[in-house]
């Protein structure tokens, strides 16, 4: 693939006015007729040809104003249809007819079949697999879609917009027509045809319009769409109340399909979802599943304004819609649940997924300037870091001006395809604040490091804070400029109260935000009566790494008294991380592992504090993961040592806290029917955290077996099974529980995915053989992305000791899988390959083995653009 550069952007030569599509659906021979009305853009040379994108298409007809196009006037190549001799300024019509085979489309891009349902996925460049088209997001047009299909197998015919009408035909087929009045880019096109059940409801908008809501699922699964429907209605209401955004069509549809590369897709009026993020009931879905469904239903719905009504000028601007929409769904979940607990979960996710990406060979700016394969830029940097940037704008501007900026964005750019610069300009206009330096966050990759040190002058009653920032070099960017970092912080006095400075000098300070804008800055707080303990980065307002010398006692003070609960969790988590890093060194030097008294004390005090909500206490008890520890260590990592160290610390905590954990398991036990609300979920989470310490503190599997037997919902059941499998992988009780779980849920692929994932994450070298054996299980299906992700993906991403076996077998296994998946589904292969993104931070022997495996992939013939782009960047 060619490298695409942001600086090469220019508008199309021809303006697309209207699109009329007619699909005659057939599993192997679907005929697509596209009637496209264009005119030449003013100022474009009269000899410029019309170039339309295509991918794996069979062209069977080409008309110009309904007349056959002479062969001398067009060329077809592998990826383009070029038409010459077109009118200088008058509008004209091009009719393109193509043939496709949905059934053999294993890439799951364009039009494909899943469980006998026709469906589409067009983002980013899938529409060109349906017809020749100017397939780019700045080409907005109004679409009419006619669908013709066999009525018996496809009684349901859906597309974007509003239903126009339909009728039976004489040959057993029928048709339906849809019209979408909102101009849209081709990536938001959708079509679904098949035989599905439906859950129905309605929503009355703020201005009193009635919107029909429909969620289509496999027949018989309608009751499992109840929670998704509830989440949808809450999302629609929230967007009206918080962002002033109303829905704009008469109908909103969601279709759940079982083969899908992404989580879901925000097609105008017709969202298509991975069924994993729609279907839920207490017996089969965990609390995490419910929370994900709520978040993703909301995310896709919110795209209707941030993405659809206002879209991206080009794919470099992907964060314009994704970062902003993730920010919106985070705020929604925070309002639906506990804001603090939600923030902790977000930060854990950001640090475990985005920080490693930003520190490795795949690092790229939130707004990149070049790509070879756009599918590889649907990254945690674009999404999660992109969201953090929007959050920082909100922090810098504060609530009212942020809202004013958002309102201006919606007003100024509705119906347009715009850029990050346009977005930022709205906040500058609304606030009068210069955000030029802040914009560097979009352009400079890498996680900034802020180093802080303070000194107290008792005579002058001043606290002087020295701050230094640096952004590490990343691929293609060696030197970085200082950024505008909004550092939220407080100064705690010895009694836990917060010091109020009489004046601050050296940096702009607004409320509790210090605006760090220079490489080195000194901030002086006056009127501080005694030596304060600074608490940095409240709410994780800035996505940075922070380096600060702080004693365990100071951290404990923050953990007990900070007004910002997130900062309390952060203090304890940092204490735990420091201890785990130290313990890893002890393991590698063959010294006994020590667990600090302050850590034990801090964790148990918070766990027992019933003024704190259970979900928060559960987060406190959940230690940093093995990959968190590896990231903190940063280089020469030995996953076995990290695992051993973490186990040792866990056991020490289990011993010290046995009474607390036993009591919590009892106190947090719920009675009555399962309810998926955040409060109940929090109690289950705390109970399970406490239970896991008891199980890790015991040599026998009974406690976990009993928990497995007693569980009456999927959260508790899968948690108990995980404990059993991870702590006692070969115990009889584990073997039985695994077999029983599989028997009980044999007809539910989404639950079997949990069964695969639990086994794929069993620590230790022997899990590779287990994973290989599971690939021959009849429930495994190498063609289904959810199955592949649960088994192969989970093993590579989430099993540090199993995957990073010292002998390199884990990497060789992955290489083989990648080469096997790639010809069928390049997007999936490339995504799973990114699990190796931190290979350079491994110790020498493992890093060498990892490199050989990557080189083996790189040397394979006929690699997709997706995989070769990832593997080459990883080896660079
Ligand atoms: N459907 C994916 C998302 O919403 C890509 N747009 O993030
Ligand atoms: Zn999105």
Q: Is 17 exposed, middle or buried (0-12, 13-18, 19+ CB in 10 A)?
A: middle
* Confidence check: pLDDT of 723 > 90: yes
Residues 224, 281 contacting (CB under 8 angstroms): yes
**Statement: the pTM of the whole predicted model exceeds 0.95:** yes
Residues 341, 682 contacting (CB under 8 angstroms): yes
* Confidence check: pLDDT of 1 > 90: no
SS3 562: coil
CB of 265 closer than 6 A to ligand 1? yes
CB of 382 closer than 6 A to ligand 1? no
Quote the pLDDT of residue 119: 98
CA distance 26 to 32: 11
Quote the pLDDT of residue 633: 98
Q: What is the mean pLDDT of residues 509-533?
A: 98
Q: How far is the CA of 558 from the centre of ligand 1 (A)?
A: 38
pLDDT in tens, 728-769: 999 999 999 999 999 999 999 999 999 999 999 999 999 999
Picking from 467, 864, 131, the residue whose alpha carbon sits closest to that of residue 122 is 131
Encoded tokens for 534: 């600074």
Quote the pLDDT of residue 727: 98
What percentage of the chain exceeds 90 in pLDDT? 100
CB of 266 closer than 6 A to ligand 1? yes
Q: Which ligand is nearest to the CA of 263?
A: 1
pLDDT in tens, 230-277: 999 999 999 999 999 999 999 999 999 999 999 999 999 999 999 999
CA distance 267 to 122: 9
Quote the pLDDT of residue 347: 98
Other residues' Cβ atoms within 10 Å of the Cβ of residue 429: 14
Strand partners, 200: 214
SS3 516: strand
pLDDT in tens, 836-847: 999 999 999 999
pLDDT tier for residue 519 given thresholds of 50, 70 and 90 = very high
Quote the pLDDT of residue 713: 97
Q: Which domains does the chain have, with CATH numbers?
A: 4-195 (2.60.40.1730), 311-443 (1.10.390.10), 449-549 (2.60.40.1840), 550-697 (1.25.50.10), 745-876 (1.25.50.10)
pLDDT in tens, 389-447: 999 999 999 999 999 999 999 999 999 999 999 999 999 999 999 999 999 999 999 99
Q: Whose CA is nearest to atom 6 of ligand 1?
A: 265
Quote the pLDDT of residue 168: 98
* Confidence check: pLDDT of 655 > 80: yes
Encoded tokens for 292: 């994900």
Q: What is the mean pLDDT of residues 614-640?
A: 98
Give, in order, the Cα–Cα distances in Å from 863 to each of 1, 200, 337, 857, 859: 11, 44, 44, 8, 9
Encoded tokens for 651: 């056991």
pLDDT in tens, 71-109: 999 999 989 999 999 999 999 999 999 999 999 999 999
Q: How far is the CA of 383 from the centre of ligand 1 (A)?
A: 9
Q: Is 86 exposed, middle or buried (0-12, 13-18, 19+ CB in 10 A)?
A: buried
pLDDT in tens, 362-385: 999 999 999 999 999 999 999 999
Quote the pLDDT of residue 842: 98
**Chain-wide mean pLDDT for the chain?**
98
**ipTM for the assembly:** 0.98
Of the listed 125, 266, 300, 357, which one is catalytic? 300
Picking from 581, 575, 617, 577, the residue whose alpha carbon sits closest to that of residue 597 is 575
Q: How far is CA 561 from its chain centroid?
A: 33
Helices of type H across 799-843:
800-803, 809-821, 826-833
Quote the pLDDT of residue 212: 98
CA distance 132 to 109: 15
β-strands 485-492, 513-516: how paired? Answer: antiparallel
* Confidence check: pLDDT of 622 > 80: yes
Q: Whose CA is nearest to atom 1 of ligand 1?
A: 265
Give one DSSP letter per residue of 434-497, joined into a string. --TTTTHHHH--S--EEEEEEEEETTTTEEEEEEEEE---BTTB-------EEEEEEEE-TTSP
Q: How far is the CA of 124 from the centre of ligand 1 (A)?
A: 9
CA distance 232 to 40: 42
CB of 628 closer than 6 A to ligand 1? no
Q: Which residue has the tokens 């979802």?
A: 273
pLDDT tier for residue 22 given thresholds of 50, 70 and 90 = very high
Please indicate whether residue 331 is annotated as part of the active site.
no
Q: Whose CA is nearest to atom 2 of ligand 1?
A: 265
CA distance 791 to 813: 12
Quote the pLDDT of residue 667: 98
pLDDT in tens, 192-212: 999 999 999 999 999 999 999
* Confidence check: pLDDT of 387 > 80: yes
The alpha-carbon radius of gyration of the chain (Å, integer) is 28
Picking from 168, 179, 280, 301, the residue whose alpha carbon sits closest to that of residue 233 is 301
Give buried/exposed letters for 57-82 (b at 16+ CB in 10 A, else e): beeeebebeeeebeeeebeeeebebe
Q: Can you tell me which atom of ligand 1 is nearest the CA of 326?
A: 7
What percentage of the chain exceeds 70 in pLDDT? 100
Quote the pLDDT of residue 386: 99
- Phi, psi for 59 (deg, rounded to 5): -85, 125
First to last CA, the chain: 17
């Amino acid at each position: 693939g060619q490298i695409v550069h942001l600086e090469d952007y220019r508008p199309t030569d021809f303006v697309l006015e209207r699109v009329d599509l007619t699909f005659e659906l057939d599993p192997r021979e679907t005929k697509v007729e596209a009637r496209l009305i264009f005119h030449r853009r003013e100022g474009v040379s009269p000899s410029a040809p019309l170039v339309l994108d295509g991918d794996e298409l069979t062209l069977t007809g080409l008309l110009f104003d309904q007349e056959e196009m002479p062969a001398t006037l067009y060329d077809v190549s592998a990826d383009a249809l070029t038409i010459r001799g077109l009118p200088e300024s008058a509008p004209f019509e091009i009719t393109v007819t193509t043939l496709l085979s949905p059934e053999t489309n294993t890439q799951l891009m364009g039009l494909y079949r899943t469980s006998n349902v026709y469906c589409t996925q067009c983002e980013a460049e899938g529409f060109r697999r349906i017809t020749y088209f100017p397939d780019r997001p700045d080409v907005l047009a109004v679409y009419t879609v006619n669908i013709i299909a066999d009525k018996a197998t496809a009684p349901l015919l859906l597309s974007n917009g509003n239903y126009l009408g339909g009728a039976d035909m004489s040959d057993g087929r029928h048709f339906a027509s849809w019209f979408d009045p909102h101009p849209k880019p081709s990536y938001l096109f959708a079509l679904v045809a098949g035989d599905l059940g439906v859950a129905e409801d309605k929503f009355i908008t703020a201005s009193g319009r009635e919107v029909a809501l429909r969620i289509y699922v496999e027949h018989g699964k309608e009751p499992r769409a109840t929670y998704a429907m509830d989440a949808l209605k809450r999302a629609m209401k929230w967007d009206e109340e918080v962002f002033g955004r109303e829905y704009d069509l008469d109908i909103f549809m969601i279709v759940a399909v079982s083969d899908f590369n992404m989580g879901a897709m925000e097609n105008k009026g017709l969202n298509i979802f991975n069924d994993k993020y729609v279907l839920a009931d207490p017996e089969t879905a965990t609390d995490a599943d419910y929370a994900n469904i709520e978040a993703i239903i909301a995310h896709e719905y919110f795209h209707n304004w941030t993405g659809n009504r206002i879209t991206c000028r080009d794919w470099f601007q992907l964060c314009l819609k994704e970062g902003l929409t993730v920010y919106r769904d985070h705020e929604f979940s925070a309002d639906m649940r506990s804001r603090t607990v939600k923030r902790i979960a977000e930060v854990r996710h950001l640090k475990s997924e985005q920080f490693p990406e930003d520190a490795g060979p795949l690092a790229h700016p939130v707004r990149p300037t070049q790509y070879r394969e756009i599918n590889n830029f649907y990254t945690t940097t674009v999404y999660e870091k992109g969201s953090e940037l929007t959050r920082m704008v909100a922090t810098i501007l504060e609530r009212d001006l942020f809202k004013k900026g958002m309102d201006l964005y919606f007003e100024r750019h509705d119906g347009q395809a715009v850029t990050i610069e346009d977005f930022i300009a709205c906040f500058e206009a609304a606030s009068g604040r210069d955000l030029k330096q802040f914009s560097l966050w979009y352009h400079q990759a890498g996680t900034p490091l802020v180093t802080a040190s303070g000194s107290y002058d008792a005579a002058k009653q001043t606290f002087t804070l020295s701050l230094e920032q640096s952004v590490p070099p990343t691929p293609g960017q060696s030197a970085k400029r200082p950024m505008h970092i909004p550092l939220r912080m407080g100064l705690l006095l010895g009694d836990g109260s917060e010091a109020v400075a009489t004046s601050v000098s050296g940096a702009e300070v607004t409320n509790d935000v210090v605006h760090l804008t220079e490489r080195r800055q000194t901030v002086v707080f006056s009127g501080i009566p005694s030596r304060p303990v600074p608490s940095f980065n409240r709410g994780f307002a800035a996505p940075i790494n922070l380096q600060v010398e702080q004693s365990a006692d100071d951290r404990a003070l923050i953990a007990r008294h900070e007004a910002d609960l997130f900062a309390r969790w952060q203090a304890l988590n940092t204490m735990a991380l420091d201890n785990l890093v130290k313990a890893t060194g002890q393991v590698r030097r063959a010294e006994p592992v020590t667990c600090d008294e302050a850590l034990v004390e801090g964790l148990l005090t918070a766990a027992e504090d019933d003024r704190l909500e259970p979900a928060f206490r559960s987060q406190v008890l959940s230690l940093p993961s093995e990959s968190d520890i590896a990231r903190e260590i940063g280089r020469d990592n030995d996953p076995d040592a990290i695992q051993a160290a973490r186990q040792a610390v866990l056991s020490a905590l289990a011993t010290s806290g046995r009474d607390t954990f036993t009591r919590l398991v009892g106190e947090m036990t719920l009675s009555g029917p399962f309810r998926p609300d955040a409060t109940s979920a929090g109690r289950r989470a705390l109970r399970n955290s406490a239970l896991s310490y008891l199980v890790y503190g015991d040599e026998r599997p009974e406690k976990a077996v009993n928990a497995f037997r007693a569980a009456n919902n999927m959260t508790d059941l899968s948690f108990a099974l995980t404990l059993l499998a991870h702590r006692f992988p070969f115990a009889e009780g584990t073997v039985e529980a695994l077999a029983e779980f599989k028997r009980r849920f044999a007809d539910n692929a989404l639950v079997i995915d949990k069964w695969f994932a639990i086994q794929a994450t069993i620590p230790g070298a022997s899990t590779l053989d287990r994973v290989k054996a599971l690939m021959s299980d009849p429930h495994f299906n190498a063609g289904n992305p959810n199955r592949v992700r649960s088994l192969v993906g989970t093993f590579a991403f989430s099993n540090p000791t199993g995957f990073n076996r010292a002998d390199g077998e884990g990497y060789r296994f992955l290489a083989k899988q990648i080469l096997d998946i790639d010809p069928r589904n390049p997007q999936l292969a490339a995504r799973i390959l990114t699990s190796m993104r931190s290979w350079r931070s491994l110790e020498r022997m493992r890093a060498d083995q990892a490199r050989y495996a990557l080189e083996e992939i790189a040397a394979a013939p006929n690699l997709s653009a997706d995989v070769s782009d990832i593997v080459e960047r990883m080896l660079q």
